[in-house]
A and B are shown apart, each in its own frame.
Chain A
C-alpha cells in the first residue's frame, strides 16, 4: 500500500472513531437502558472518553460545541481539566474558550457536580480556578445559588478559594454570603431576600413560599404542609420543568381544571415524555390541548426550516423496547413522538407520512408494545415516494431480524440508484457492547439522538456516517460548528 493509501485509510478510521464518540456522547447518559445495565453503559462510555481524549484531543474538545448531552459534556470538561498537561499552549487556549462556553450552557447543578468531581480528583490549578471563577461570576444571583445549591457552592468556595462575588445582579452584601455558608446562626438577619427567607423558613411557614421549589419542599415536609396546597402556592417559584413535573399533584390535570401551565412553551421532548406519561383516556380527553402544544413546540424548533424538507416519510419505533428503562422511562418512544411532530413541521405542508412499527396511525395514543417489524414498515414508507426517509429506532429489528437492512440495501442498489431518496437512521439508544449506536445497514447513515429538538443538526452530521467522508471534511465541519458555537457565546457576552 502506498503512503497516501495508508493516510486515507487511517483518515477514514479516525473519522469513524470521531463519529462513534459523538454518537455515544449524544445518546448515552450512563443510565440503564432497555437492553443494558447502567454499569455496562458507564464502562463502555469511560473507555470511549479515554480513547478519544488520548488519540484525538482536538476532536474531544471540539465535541463540546456539538449537541452532546449534559452528562457527557460535564465529563469532557472534567477530563480536559484533569489532563491539562497533555495539551499544548494553543490547544489549552481553544479548550478554555470551549469549556467556558459550554459551562454557561450547562444547568448549574451539573456544574456544581463537576466542581465536586474536580475536587475529588484533586484538581485545583490556577487555570481551573480561573475558569470556575469566571463561571461563578456570571451567575445572576449567588444568594439564590447559596440557598439552592448550598453544598455545591460551599465545596466550590472552599476547595477552589473562589471569591463569592457576582459581576451582575443582586449580590448579597459583603460578608453575608460567607457567614451564611460557613457560620450559620451568627447573624440575626440577612439583608438578601432569599438568605433571610431561608433563615425564617425554619420557624415561619409563610417564608417557605419565597424559596425555590426544591428547598421549600424540605421545609414543607418539616412544617407538615399538605402536598397539594403546597404545590399550588409554590407554583410561581418553580422552574419550567418542575411545573410540568408537578402538574398532576397540583390538580392541573384533573377534568375541568383551569389550564395552569402553558404546555406549548415546554421543550419538545419533555412535552412528548409528559404526553406519554398520561393514560390513554386522558390523552383522548385532552387531545386538542396536547396536539396543539406539540405542534407549536415543534414549529418553534423548526424555526426558519419549517416546510423546507419536501416530501418526508418517517418510520417510528413503538415496539416494547421503546419503553426504555426505569431510569430512562419511555425515552426512545418520546424521541420518536417528538420527531414525528418535528418532521411534520419540517416537511412541506401535506406531504408527510408516518409509519409506526405497531401499525398504529394515531401518534397521540402510541404506547410501547409489540415486536419491531421495521422491514415491512420501511417498504410501506418507501411506497410513499418520499424525498427523505427518516427512521427513528433503537436498531433492534426483529420481525424478522435484519429485514430492514436488507430492504434498504436492495432499494439502494436496485430500485433507487439515482439516490432520489435520502435515508437517515436516528437511534436514541447507545449500544454498550458495540461502542456505538446500532446500525440497520452499512449503507444507511446512522446518528445517535437524545432530544428530538436536535434532529435537523443530527441529520446533517449523519451524512458523514456513510463511511466515505474523510477526516479533513469532518474537521472542517467541526471547525465551522466551533466557530458558530463560540461566536454565539462570546458575541453574546460582548454586547
Chain B
C-alpha cells in the first residue's frame, strides 16, 4: 500500500467562508462494522509511548474505535455516546495543570457491554488522533546516529534525538476556521471534509459513519494545524467560490437539457477538485506503518517522502478496511521547516549519519550540512 484510497467517498461542492474552503466528502453507504466515538480530555497529558519513552502535550480528546459491529440501535444504549460515558465529568473543572496519564498511544478497551460477547474478546480501542501521526514524525530516526562518527556528541550517540519537540497551532487559533465550521452546512451522508485555508490543503478528515461525522465535526477546531496554515489564515485573503457556469445556454432547448447541464456542473467540480486541489494529498506515495489491527480493519500511520522540492507534504493516520479503502483518515500538513527537518534526518540516516557522505549525496559541503543541522535545531547533537 503506497497511496490513499478514497473509493466510496464522493466530493460535493465546497462551501467558502472568508479564506477557508471546506469540501465535503459523502459516502453513499456508511462503512459497515466500524464506529468512532470521542473521549474528551481537553488538558495536558503525558503519553507513555514505550517503556522509558513518553511525551507531554495538550490532548483535547481521544477517539475510540469500535469494531464490534453493534450500532446504536442494537445495544440500545445509544452507541453514539457509549464511549464518552463517564469521561465527560473530567472536563467540568479543569484544574490548573492537571496532567492525564495515557498509557500507550493506542490502547485496547474492554467492551462495556455485558453478555452477548465472551469475556476477553476486545472490540474497542482508544487512540489519540493526530498524536499518532505526529509521534511517527517525532520518532523519525529517533535513535540518533547508528555509527559513532567523531562529529557526533556523546549525548547524541547515547540518547539519540531525545528530547525532541514540534509545535503546532490549535484550530481555534486559525483565523476564520471557527466561523467557517459554524456556518458549514453538513451534507446528508457526509463522512468527511477537506479543509483548505487560503486554498492550501490544511487537513483531511474522514470517518466511517455520518453520525460520527456530525459528532466529530466541531473537533476539527481542537486539532493541530501547522504554522503555515496559521499564517495563511491571517494573511490569506478571502477565496472565491467556484461558481457554476452554464455559459450562454446555446445548446439548451428544453428543461431536460438544463437539468443535464446543471448535473454536468456538479460533476465537473468533483473531478477538478480531486485532480487539481487535492493532488498534493492523493497523488503522493507514503510509507505506511501498521500500528494496530482491529478485526478486519487496520490502523496505520504514514509519513510522506520528505521531498524538498514540493511544498505540500502531509503526515497522518488511517484506518483501512480489508480492501484498503479509507474508513478513517486524519492528516496534518507539515510546514516547510518541518519538511526540511524530515528530509535532513532521512538523508543522514540513509548515509549512516556520515556528514561528508551525506554532503556528497546532497551535492553540498560538510560545512553546509553542519549549518543545516544547527538551523534545524539539532545543534546539540554535534560535538
Q: Which residues of A contact B (CB under 8 A)?
A: 34-35, 319-321, 358, 369-372, 375-376, 379, 382-383, 398-403, 406-407, 409-411, 413-415
Contacts and interface: CB of A to CB of B under 8 A. Distances in A.
B183 interface: yes
A398 B244 contact: no
A398 B244 CA distance: 10
Interface stretch (B142-150, B220-228, B251-259, B339-347): B251-259
A370 B24 CA distance: 11
Contacts of B252: 410, 414-415
Q: Which 3 pairs from chain A and chain B are nearest by CB? A: A402-B243, A400-B13, A410-B249
A403 B259 CA distance: 11
A401 B13 contact: yes
A357 to B, nearest CB: 10
Contacts, number: 88
Contact of B13 (A320, A379, A399): A399
Nearest to A402: B243
B246 interface: yes
Interface stretch (B71-79, B261-269, B287-295): B261-269
Given A398-B15, A407-B246, A414 B253 contact: yes
A372 B188 CA distance: 11
B141 interface: no
Nearest to A411: B258
A297 B187 CA distance: 34
A402 B266 CA distance: 11
A401 B241 contact: yes
B185 A410 contact: no
A403 B262 contact: yes
Interface in B178-211: 183, 185-188
Contacts of A401: 13-16, 241-244
Contacts of A375: 244, 262
A206 B155 CA distance: 86
B255 A406 contact: no
Range of interface residues on B (Cβ < 8 Å): 20 to 34
Contacts of B269: 400
A139 to B, nearest CB: 44
Given A34-B183, A35-B183, A319-B185, A383 B244 contact: no
B249 A413 contact: yes
B186 A379 contact: no
A358 B187 CA distance: 10
A379 B255 CA distance: 7
Contacts of A410: 246, 249, 252, 258, 261
B13 A398 contact: yes
Contacts of A399: 12-13, 187
B185 A402 contact: no
B253 A369 contact: no
Contacts of B13: 371, 398-401
B258 A370 contact: no
A370 B15 CA distance: 12
A422 B253 CA distance: 19
Contacts of B12: 371, 399
Given A370-B185, A402-B245, 7 more contacts: A370-B186, A370-B187, A371-B186, A379-B258, A400-B265, A407-B258, A414-B252
A399 B185 CA distance: 10
A415 B255 contact: yes
Contacts of B187: 370-371, 399
A414 B246 CA distance: 12
B88 to A, nearest CB: 23
Contacts of A400: 13, 242-244, 265-266, 269
Contact of A406 (B186, B241, B242, B245): B245
A379 B259 contact: yes
Interface in B1-18: 12-16
A62 B84 CA distance: 59
Contacts of A319: 185
A403 B262 CA distance: 7
B249 A414 contact: yes
11 contacts: A370-B187, A371-B185, A379-B259, A379-B262, A399-B13, A401-B241, A401-B243, A401-B244, A402-B244, A413-B249, A415-B253
